[in-house]
Amino acid sequence: MPRHWLFKSEPSVFSIADLARVKSTSWDGVRNYQARNMLRDDVKLGDKVLIYHSNAEPTGIAGVGTVSMPGHPDETAFDRRHEHYDPKSLRENPTWFLVDVRHEQTFPHVITRDMLGSDPVAKGMMVLRKGSRLSIQPVTPDEFKAVLRLAK
């Protein structure tokens, strides 16, 4: 059974519109060990992903993607010229992982934090918890359905 996730991205770096344009992309540059572990061990092929625009106006969930390739080494960690380069990450023992995400749906409007907070189910989402800064977060099936309901 597919799981559900929330992936954060600043729209000035990579937005739901960018994902719609390129159709599919590698979700690279995650440099947090807890998020890395989820990408490496827990996020699977076919899982659904809520794309969350952070550091934006408005901040919130902008659409849905599907994991099209499960966890594999983040090649940007090996490229000296790339901003995500990590000299401690070795090809034979990679530190950083990513998944590929395919665009599924762009919402007609961003589901804002206020909208999430006023919904009886969505208000429990990890993204709304004080101090929650993880860029990759699990979402329950009921929370995922609540977001889809709010998007209509």
pLDDT digits (tens, 9 = 90+) for 109-137: 999 999 999 999 999 999 999 988 899 99
Locate all alpha helices (DSSP H) within the chain, ordered by sequence.
16-22, 33-37, 113-118, 141-151
What domains lie within the chain, and their CATH numbers? 4-151 (3.10.590.10)
Q: For the chain, how many residues are written?
A: 152
Task: Please determine, for residue 2, whether its predicted confidence score (pLDDT) is greater than 90.
Answer: no
- Percentage of the chain with pLDDT > 70? 100
Provide the whole-model pTM. 0.95
CB 122 within 8 A of CB 143: yes
